[in-house]
Structure 1
Amino acid sequence: MKTALVLGGTRFFGTNLVEELLAKKVQVTIANRGQREDSFGDRVERIKLDRVEKQSIIEATRGRKWDVVFDQICYSSHGALVAVDAFRDSTNHYVLTSTLSVYGSSKEHFHEEDFDPYTYPISYARKENISYQEGKRQAEAVLFQKAPFSVTAVRIPIVLGDNDYTNRLRFHIDKVMHQEEIGFPDIDAQLNFISREEAGAFLAWCGEQKLKGPINACSNGVISLKELMSLIETETNQQAKITKRVTDENASPYGLDHSWTMSNEKASFWGYEFSDVRQWLPPLIKKKVAEAKIVPLY
């Protein structure tokens, strides 16, 4: 991989993806609407386009070709079909950032074969008219069934790290620090996580390997919500107020009624070495608690 186009790439772990590619001496072009500043300086090329409008992409990329296209911002069958048409002659491989959510919640632990995008019925819709889960399912289905280039769909769980615009981890920290209730349907439920650094590194690795098909990516190990809260209690030196009485005000963004995890065995088999979640999560929580004490979220 000598050249790469990154759709998005200026927010959260998208910036880690770009930095990983640059570290590998890849010539990187980032494409978005040009409304968000980035820290890449003259190390990247920038082009402006509207990700969901085919003609906008065709005009912005006419006559160009990249070894790999990384798509951080595809959320629907419409967006995927636009990509199939617009990049037909622009790349040989496509890496879609997908999600654990494509599996639904019918059981507790998922492997890649538990959702088959090659046979999933396609229903055309824009992202504003469809749920996040169904949008990602449709995006995978369109790309795997209709793209003339090879495709990798990287399915990731909750991503944690600095500059997390969702503030989901911070929600729990602030609730504990303010001694406010947090509602969990099942405090013993287990989850996978991945750090923003590892998410970016794995996406770049997939671009190098050009593996075909869906592939799960998560740190080794699972964390129960009880253990997560215990880590926060240790760093804040306060006891969390946990309740099963879930309301709009206290509902945990991680509040599940049963465990929801994925296997990373396929990626490990192909040679990727994941970190252990307990290596990086406690230090991250420590850092976030320190930040919360200096700059309140609310």
Structure 2
Amino acid sequence: MKNILILGGTRFFGKRLVQLLLEEGHKVTIATRGTTEDEFGDQIGRIQLDREDKESLAKAVEGGREWDTVYDNICYSPQAAQDACDVFNGKVKRYILTSTLAVYEPAPGSHEEKDVNPYIYPVTMGGRNDFPYGEGKRLAEAVFFQNADFPVVAVRFPIVLGEDDYTGRLEFHIDHVKKEQPIGIPNLQAKMCFISSGEAAAFLSWLKNQRVEGAINARSQGDVKLSELMGWIEKETGKKAMISKQAKDEDQSPFGVPDSWVMDTNKAERLGYPFQPLRSWLPALIRQLAVQER
């Protein structure tokens, strides 16, 4: 049994991760602002803190608390990363940072971890509002790998999808097609990669037992052109998508990238993780959401 802290953990794949860890018999504590209720009752411990405030974050180690594994799902800046390096020094055996595909720029090829090397990436300090999302995550990774005195692995996830996705990114497309509203997509031939919320949680749980450090890419097997993705939605809605390159801001697709945006998962696969094929779950999820939206 491991003593595990999750920074975040009340919704989406963080919530699924909590459930998996409980099923494995671990002692789980979640640390959040306390504004979102959870359904775990007395199965878990809770710490109320502000991840963006160092003094508040220190509550996670008050009273000599130490952790076998810390999952950090809510670190978005180099300053937040440095705060964690200071607070958890000597208090954690393994630190797993949730990072993102957004550390890479869209490009024709498939990104490997070495394409953004956090061990040598120049650090500029600042808070969450000082950087765009992708740059904030790049800098957070760089601070951890250059300054932490404990083992760190950064999981670079693509867009995570599921019926529990509170952002509604996939539903945006389904709803627009149903209502025959325009969708702004600059390049229908661009390829995208995704991962389901269930597999994102499963990968995080699996990773705690692996002897690996550094960045690691994680996504479902295979990718999909945006034209094919929209075709799946057209099939389930029975309507034709109205694709536009000149759509209003509110009609711009959350998937509307100028070029392909995919990454290589050979590192994770060499460690033995069997990713699910994208086509084994994404068309089914679209079908499920299309029915729910009716």
Question: TM class by shorter-chain length?
Answer: over 0.9
CA contact (8 A) 2:105 2:261 kept: no
8 Å CA contact 2:94–2:150 kept in 1: the answer is yes
AA paired with 1:285?
Answer: I
Q: Deviations over 1:226-280 (max 9, x none)?
A: 1111111111111111223233132111011111100111101100000001000
Query: Does the CA-based 8 Å contact 1:152-1:210 persist in structure 2?
Result: no
- Output one character per residue of 1:60-108: Cα deviation in whole Å (capped at 9) or x when no partner: 4221011010000000001000100111121011000000111123553
* Equivalent pairs, count: 293
Matched, 1:6 2:17: no
Matches within 5 A, 1:176-195: 176-195=177-196
Alignment of 1:1-298 (within 5 A): 2-62=2-62, 63-293=64-294
2:25 maps to amino acid: K
Contact 1:68 1:94 in 2 (8 A): yes
Question: Which residues of structure 2 form unaligned runs of 5+?
Answer: none
TM-score by length of 2: 0.97
In structure 2, what is the Cα distance between the partners aligned to 1:96 and 1:60?
Answer: 16
Shift of 1:192: 0.3
2:185 touches 2:253 (CA, 8 Å); kept in 1? yes
User: Hey, what's the Cα distance between the residues in 2 that align with 1:24 and 1:210?
Assistant: 19
CA–CA distance in 1 between the matches of 2:59 and 2:160?
33
Q: Distance in 1 between matches of 2:13 and 2:60?
A: 24
In the alignment, the residues of structure 2 paired with residue 48 and residue 224 of structure 1 have an alpha-carbon distance, to the nearest angstrom, of 42
Q: Percent sequence identity over matched residues?
A: 49
Indicate the SS of the match to 2:4: strand
| One-letter code aligned to 1:258 | D
Mapped partners of 1:155, 1:88: distance in 2:
23
Instruction: Provide the TM-score with structure 1 as the length reference.
Output: 0.95
Q: Distance in 1 between matches of 2:56 and 2:260?
A: 42
8 Å CA contact 1:95, 1:151 repeated in 2: yes
- Give the ranges of 4+ consecutive aligned residues of structure 1 lying more than 3 Å apart after TM superposition: none
Offset of residue 20 of structure 1? 1.6
